[in-house]
Amino acid sequence: METATPAATPRAIPFDEIAVGEARRTARFEGREYGSGISFFLVDNEPGQGPGLHRHPYTETWTVLEGEATITIGEERLVARAGDTVVVGPRVWHGFVNSGTGRLRIMCVHASDTMIQEFKDAQ
């Protein structure tokens, strides 16, 4: 039987605590550390930026907060704009790129309390 992660003491988690990268505009939240059953990236990218093809053993759900993303899921490509939500199933190669002319802000929710990623170019 799986044991639930105990809930953390309620608090607002400062952005700087989970910020990553040199520009520190992107955040990486791994739920296990905070008593949450999900993890997420809050991404802020310039045009042309985005992660390479990768996959997870669980679903990932994106919501575009601002801008435009071209999302690759397996052999398909689709365009998502502010307000759109996209879901990819487990073990499917996927990635996205900021295909707009301005900033892309996108929330990438991982259905896991810890992130597990395999990048295709690392094979």
DSSP string, 73-122: ETTEEEEEETT-EEEE-TT--EEEEE-SSS-EEEEEEESSSS---EEGGG
Give domain status of residue 57, yes or no: yes
pLDDT tens readout for residues 23-63: 778 999 999 999 999 999 999 999 999 999 999 999 999 99
Q: Does 87 fall in a domain?
A: yes
Q: How many domains does the chain have?
A: 1
Q: Does residue 63 fall inside a structural domain?
A: yes
Is it the case that residue 12 has pLDDT exceeding 60? Answer: yes
Residue 20 has pLDDT above 80, yes or no: yes
Instruction: Give dist(CA 40, CA 13) in Å, integer.
Output: 13
- Structural domain harbouring 100: 34-122
For residue 38, tell me if it sits in a domain.
yes
**Does residue 84 fall inside a structural domain?**
yes
- 14 within a domain of the structure (yes/no): no
Separate counts of helices (H) and strands (E) for the chain? 1, 11
Report yes or no on 9 lying in a domain: no
**Cα(95)–Cα(76) distance, integer angstroms:** 11
Rounded CA-CA distance 50/97 in Å is 4
61-98 pLDDT tens trace: 999 999 999 999 999 999 999 999 999 999 999 999 99
CATH number of the domain that 67 lies in? 2.60.120.10
Could you tell me if residue 91 is inside a domain?
yes
Question: Do the strands 60-66 and 85-88 form a parallel or antiparallel pair, or are they unpaired?
Answer: antiparallel
Burial of 58 (0-12, 13-18, 19+ CB in 10 A): middle
